[in-house]
Amino acid sequence: MNIRKKVRWTLPPGTNRYAALDLWVPAAEDEGWNEDEIQYVITEVVEADGDAAGLEVLAWYTYQ
């Protein structure tokens, strides 16, 4: 899936990838992302090699 959307949200410092997902998902839902798009990002974050890599995935889908 090629998602080019970005979410407006703020990642609190010191948050691990799973806690970050708890914040990111509602933000994505508020911006009209569909279930397939959200699930795709969740899978990428969960399958990442550690917190840093998972947070990088979320950074990709975040407005900077």
pLDDT one-digit tens code per residue, 4-59: 999 999 998 999 999 999 999 999 999 999 999 999 999 999 999 999 999 999 99
CA terminus-to-terminus distance, the chain: 22
Residue 44 belongs to some domain of the structure: yes
* pLDDT value at residue 56: 96
Contact 60, 5 (CB under 8 A): no
Confirm whether 31 is domain-assigned: yes
In a domain, 24, yes or no: yes
Q: Is the residue at 8 inside a domain?
A: no
Is 7 domain-assigned?
no
**What pLDDT is stored for residue 1 in this prediction?**
83
Query: In DSSP terms, which residues pair with 7 in a beta bridge?
Result: 62
Overall domain count for the chain: 1
Confidence of residue 2 (pLDDT cuts 50, 70, 90): confident
Is the Cβ–Cβ distance between 3 and 41 less than 8 Å?
Answer: yes
Helix axes 17-30, 35-47, angle to 10 degrees: 170
Radius of gyration of the chain (CA): 11
